[in-house]
Amino acid sequence: MSTTTDVLVLIPAPLRRYTGGEAKVTASGGTVAELIANLDTAYPGIRDRIVESDGQIRRFVNVFVNGNNVRKLDGAETAIKDGDEVGIVPAMAGGCR
């Protein structure tokens, strides 16, 4: 398993209750999934808000690596490397049907 350091993770407002109010935290991991697992070690409970129990990214959450949506890459298995920036973005959707 590869490890990385100093990956900046942008935490959206509704998840900052897990990070003590921090909007930006650092974490490590060779993939998005590893990164989120490590985030959960530091900030217990945050993982379940980002991924399903099977590890797939929740439907109404978008994860970006350097501005690219990981749904268009390799999903939770998208590789990340030292210096990357990861954004977690709660989706907005709905409608009258």
Partner 1 sequence: MHILRLPAAMRDAIYAHGQEEFPRECMGMIGGIDGELVDLYRMVNTSEIDKAYADDPIENIEVGEQMDERGQTPLVIYHSHPGAEAYFSDTDEHVAREGIWGPIVYIVASVKPGEAPYMKAFVIREDDAPVEEVAIEIV
- 19 is an interface residue for partner 1 by CB under 8 A: no
Contact (CB, 8 A) for 35 and 85: no
d(C-alpha 28, C-alpha 9), whole Å: 10
- What stretch of H or E contains 49? helix 46-50
The single residue among 38, 49, 51, 80 that binds partner 1, judged by CB under 8 A, is 49
- 69 is an interface residue for partner 1 by CB under 8 A: yes
- 59 is an interface residue for partner 1 by CB under 8 A: yes
- Contact residues for partner 1 (CB under 8 A)? 10, 12-15, 17, 23, 49-50, 58-62, 64, 67, 69, 87, 89-97
